[in-house]
Amino acid sequence: MTGSAFDLAGKTAVITGGASGIGLAIARRFAAHNAAVEIIDLQQATLDAAVAELRGAGYDAQGENCDVGDPASVDAAFARILARRGRVHILVNNAGIAHVGNALTTSPEDFARIQKVNVNGVAHCSQAALRHMTAHGGGVILNMASTVAQSAIPDRFAYATSKGAVLAMTYAIAKDFLAHGVRCNAIMPGRVHTPFVDGFIAKNYPGREAEMFERLSLAQPIGRMGKPDEIAVAALFLCSDEASFITGSAYPVDGGTLFLR
């Protein structure tokens, strides 16, 4: 696809949580548009499988086992990536975990666990990327927020808090590093059909899987859940040179969830 729209040839893209779900869809899409893909993930077997898949398709892909909630782990992973690639042009902060519970049913330990990955992880990876980008002509950071950053759903106290913070970080980074040539945006997905959703339904609604899948699907005004690749297409646009005039923005990719329900 060299020379076509949204071409990422010559660019290194780091994708956290890139071994499954939305992250893997983004890795596939970026690789197909000629990026050198670096996947960061904590699950070694899943990471190995994702890298093997991309390489088997003829793409340039590597992986780093990394705990994004640990700044030392993040710095070490970025050091190895930079030693291999020389440059990081794109960072997609996709790694995240979910939790079900309201303000009274969420334990302090669970609250802290969600923030460590979803908030601290974004901060650590952004800091590592920014130290490099500001010294080498800029780059693009894309954060995976959520519609819950702007619109409440029941029993997502810790998760909604974390995604609100991700949205605030997006605006702060975009403002602070504009003069350094860094663009920073966010995507706010609605409910997307991933293996996590299937596992959540199976765990919490045994014997009612089909019923709950339909109910969750119809919660989006468009009448279905999103597909990981539909998020990946938006990510590709926002990280490409075609989006060079876009920074400090949050894009709903949500089947109408924020504004139509």
Closest by CA to 166, choosing from 183, 141, 191, 190, is 141
Query: Taking the chain, what is the end-to-end CA distance rounded to the nearest angstrom?
Result: 38
| Distance, CA of 189 to CA of 257 (rounded, Å) | 9
Widest Cα–Cα separation across the chain: 55
d(CA 43, CA 39): 11
Two tokens at 146?
A: 């959520």
Q: Which residues pair with 196 in a beta bridge?
A: none
Is residue 67 within 8 Å of 73, Cβ to Cβ?
Answer: yes
Strands (E) located in the chain: 12-16, 36-41, 61-65, 90-93, 139-144, 182-189, 250-253
Catalytic option among 59, 159, 205, 251: 159
Active site annotation includes 159: yes
Distance set, CA 32 to CA 8, 21, 59, 233, 236 (Å) = 9, 17, 7, 11, 10
Checking 44-49 for CB contacts under 8 A at 24+ apart, the result is 46/19, 46/20, 47/19, 49/19
- For residue 72, give the H/E element and its range: helix 71-85
Catalytic amino acids?
159
